[in-house]
Amino acid sequence: MRRLPGLCVALLLVIAGCGGSSTLTGDALQKQDEAVHSAAAEGELLASDVARDRTTEPFARVHSGDLADQAKAVAKRVRDADAAPGLERERRQVLTRATRVAQALEELHAAPDDREVAERVQAELRRLAA
Amino acid sequence: MKRIFDIALGILAAIGGFVDIGDIVFNVAAGAMFEYQLLWVVVIGVGAIITYSEMCGRVAVVSQHAVFDAVRERLGFGVGLVALVGAQLINLLTLAAEIGGIAVALQLLAGLPYRVLLFLAFIAVAVVVWALPFGWIERVFGYCGLAMLVFAVAAIKLHPDWSQVASGFIPSANTSDPAVYGYFVVGLIGAATVPYEVYFYSSGAIEEGWKPKDLSVNQSNAIIGYTLGGLLSCSLMIMAGALFFPREITPETLGTAALGAQVPLGEIGLLLALVGILFAVGGAAIDTVFSGAYNMAQFFGWEWGKHRKPVEAPRYTIAWMVMLVLGFLIVFTGVDPIKVTEFSVIFSVVALPLTYLPILLVANDRTYMRRYVNGRLANLFGIGYLVVILLVAVAAIPLMFLSNMGQG
C-alpha cells in the first residue's frame, strides 16, 4: 500500500509527459505532409465547382470549413512537435504548406458563393497540392 | 400481380436500406486508398449478409423465433448474456454514429450549426419511431435511400478503367502496407454484415406477420435486394477509386463522399447524394434503435413489437427510448461520428460469430424448421461464411492496432 502514492505520481508524470511535445520522425512528417496534400487536393476540387457554380452555398461553406480544420490540425501537430535530427527544414516546409492550405480554405469558407474568390483559391490550392 | 408488386417494393426497400454510415465510410476510404483492389471483399461481405438474412428471415417466419430468442435458447443464459451485452454496446455505438451522420448530412444540406442539427436528428428519429407504422418506416426510408443510386451514375460518369475495376473482383494484395490492407478487408466485411441488420431483419419478418407463403418475399428481398445494395457499395468504392485515388485524397468526412457525386454531376448530383445519405443513415439509425429494443425484449422474454401499443409492451418501449437517448448523448459529447463508425464496425466484427452461430444452429433444427430446415447449399454457404467471419473476428483488433486504425 505504501507504494501506491509513488505509483500514482509516476502515472501522473507519464500522463503529463504524453501531453508534451513529441518528435516527428521522417515517416511521421511524411504522413502529415500527405494529410496536407489531401486537404489541398480536395479543396481544389471543391473550389473548382464553386467557380463554375456547380454546388450549393451551404455545402461549399461547411465542407471548406471542415477541410480548413483538417489543415489547421496538421499545422498544430507539426508546430507543437520537434523534428528528428536533420528534419527541421522539412518540418518548417510542412508547417508553412499546412498554414497556407488552411488560409486558402478559410477564404473559400468565408465567401462560399464568390466565384472570383473560388478561382483564386483553386489556383492557390492547385499550386500547394502539387 | 399484388405478390409481384410486393416483392418488387420489398427489393427496392432492401436496396435503399442496404447502405449505412459504415458502408459509406469504409467503401469510400477503401476506394481512395486502394483504388478498385478491394471490390472482392464487398462480394464476400454481401454474400454473408444475404446468406444469414435469408436464414434468419426463414427461421423467424417458420419458428417465430427472432435472433435473440435463438441466442438465449442455443447459447444459454450466461453466454447469451455476454452476446447481448456485446450486441447492445455495438448497437449503441452504431446508433451514435448514425445520429451523427444524420446531423452531418443535414448540415451539408442546410448549413446550420451541427449541435442544433444533432438535437433535431434525435427528435426526428424519436418522432418517426413513435408515430410511423412499421411498414411505412421501412418503405419511406428504403425508397428515399434509393437516391444513393446517384453514386452508381457518378461512378460511370467518372469513366473508370473497367478492366481494372473487373480485376478488383479477383483477390489480390498489391500493397506496401499489408496491415492497412487487412484493416480495410475487416472493415468492409464488418460494414456489410453489421449485426443490427440481421436483428432487424428477423424481427421485422415477425413484425410484418410473414407466413411460410411469404418465404419467396424473404428470398427475393435478401438475394436480389442485397445484391443490388451491394452494387451500391461497389459504386461508392469505384467512384472513390476513380476520383480520389489518383489525386491522393484521403476522405475524412461524409462531405467527401458527397463531393464524389458533385464533381461528375454538379449540383443535382450533390443534392441527390446528400438526400440519399440522409435517408440511408436515418433509416439505419431507426433500425438500430429497434434492434436494441428487440434484442432486450427477446432475450428477457418481454412483450415486443412496433405493432403493439406502448402500454402493451412498456419495457420494450422504454428500452428503445433509453437506447435513443444514450446514442444521442454519446455523439453530443462532440466525438467524431466517423471515428465512432470505425470503432463500431470493427468491434461488430468481433461480436459477429455470437450472432450468426445461433441462427445457423436453429436453421438446422428440424423440430423447429420442419421441411424448411437448411438444405445443403444453405449450410455450405452458412458454414463457409461462418469460418470467414471467425477468421476476420480474430484478426480485427490486432489489425486495428497494427494499422493505426487504417492510417498506417
pLDDT tens readout for residues A47-88 = 999 999 999 999 999 999 999 999 999 999 999 988 888 889
- Give the up-direction half-sphere exposure of residue A130: CA atoms within 13 A in the CB hemisphere: 7
CA gap B358, B67 in Å, rounded: 8
DSSP state of B223: I
pLDDT of residue B286: 93
User: Is the pLDDT score of B256 beyond 60?
Assistant: yes
pLDDT given for residue A55 in this prediction: 97
* Span B186-204, average pLDDT: 92
Classified as helix, coil or strand, B406 is coil
B9 pLDDT band, cuts 50/70/90, is low
Percent share of chain A, pLDDT over 90 = 72
**What would the pLDDT profile of B130-180 be if each residue is shown by its tens digit?**
999 888 888 888 889 899 999 999 999 999 999 999 999 999 888 888 999
- Whether B233 and A20 have beta carbons less than 8 Å apart is answered as no
Of B250, B255, B258, the CB nearest to A38: B250
CA dist B349 and B403 (Å) reads: 16
B271 touches chain A (CB under 8 A): yes
Task: Give the closest residue to B95 by CA, choosing from B221, B174, B200.
Answer: B200
Distance CA B219, CA B233 (A): 20
Nearest residue to B24 (alpha-carbon basis) of B337, B268, B311: B337
Chain B closest-CA separation from residue A15 CA (Å) = 20
- Taking an 8 Å cut-off on Cβ atoms, the answer to whether A58 and B263 are in contact is no
Q: CA of B270: which chain A residue's CA is closest?
A: A55
Listed by number, the residues of chain A in 3-32 with a beta carbon closer than 8 Å to a beta carbon of chain B are 31
Residue in A closest to B240 by C-alpha = A42
pLDDT, tens only, B45-101: 999 999 999 999 999 999 888 888 888 888 889 988 998 999 999 999 999 999 999
Q: What is the pLDDT of residue A4?
A: 47
- The residues, ordered by sequence, that sit 6+ positions from A35 with a Cβ below 8 Å of its Cβ are A70, A74, B250
Q: Are B95 and B238 in contact (CB under 8 A)?
A: no
Distance from the Cα of A8 to chain B's closest Cα (Å) equals 27
Q: Which residues of B83-104 are buried (b: 16+ CB within 10 A; e: fewer)?
A: bbebbbebbbbbbbbbbbbbbb
- In the predicted structure, residue B233 carries a pLDDT above the cut 70: yes
CA-nearest residue of chain B to A39? B249
Taking an 8 Å cut-off on Cβ atoms, the answer to whether A56 and B271 are in contact is: yes
Q: Which H or E element spans position B187?
A: helix B178-192
Residues of A within 8 A of B244 (CB-CB) are: 42
Integer Cα distance of B362 and A7 in angstroms: 52
B360 contact A CB<8A: no
Candidates B362, B352, B363; CA nearest to B385 is: B352
Mean per-residue pLDDT over chain B, rounded = 92
Separation of alpha carbons B292 and B297, rounded Å: 9
Q: Are B217 and B10 in contact (CB under 8 A)?
A: yes
User: Inter-chain contact B270–A70, Cβ cutoff 8 Å?
Assistant: no
A18: closest CA of chain B, how far (Å) = 17
- For residue A13, the model assigns a pLDDT of 45
Domains identified in chain B and CATH numbers? 2-402 (1.20.1740.10)
Q: Which of B111, B248, B256 sits opposite A58 (nearest CB)?
A: B111
pLDDT at residue A10 above 80?
no
Residue B354: the pLDDT is 87
CA distance to A22, A100, A129, B179, per residue, from A89 (Å): 17, 17, 19, 31
Helix (H) or strand (E) holding B87: helix B67-110
> All 3 cell numbers of residue B55?
436464414
Contact (Cβ atoms closer than 8 angstroms) between residue B322 and residue B54: no
More reliable by pLDDT, B210 or B274: B274
Decide if B247 touches A, using CB distance below 8 A. yes
User: Residue B290: pLDDT above 60?
Assistant: yes
**Cβ contact (<8 Å) for B271 and A45?**
no
Residue A101: list chain B partners with CB under 8 A.
Answer: none
Chain A nearest C-alpha distance from B34 (Å) = 15
Grid cell for residue B283 = 433509416
Rounded Cα–Cα distance for residues B125 and B138 (Å): 13
Position B195 pLDDT exceeds 80: yes
* Distance, CA of A10 to CA of A16 (rounded, Å): 10
Cα B320 to chain centroid distance, Å, stands at 18
Please determine, for residue B279, whether its predicted confidence score (pLDDT) is greater than 70.
yes
What value does the mean pLDDT take over residues B308-330? 95
Closest residue in chain B to residue A56, using alpha carbons only: B267
Over residues B214-230, mean pLDDT? 89
Angle B283-B285-B291 (CA atoms, 0-180°, nearest 5)?
100
Domain extents in chain A: 25-129
Number of separate helices (H) and strands (E) present in chain A? 5, 2
Say whether residue B259 is in contact with chain A using an 8 A CB cutoff. Answer: yes
The Cα A106–Cα A112 span in angstroms is 10
Answer yes or no: do A70 and B252 touch at CB < 8 A.
yes
For chain A positions 41-70, those within 8 Å of chain B (CB to CB) are 41-42, 45-46, 49, 54-59, 61-63, 66, 70
Q: Which residue carries 467527401 as its cell?
A: B256
What is the ipTM score, two decimals? 0.91
Distance CA A18, CA B32 (A): 32
CA dihedral B326, B332, B335, B338 (to 10 degrees): 80
Q: Which residues of B touch A61 (CB under 8 A)?
A: 111
Residue type, position B203, single letter = S
Burial (CB < 10 A; 0-12, 13-18, 19+), residue B296, is buried
- Among candidate residues B329, B295, B366, B391, the one with its CA nearest the CA of residue B99: B329
* pLDDT score of A98 more than 80: yes
Distance CA A43, CA A37 (A): 10
Single pTM value for the model: 0.92
Nearest CA in chain B to A59: B108
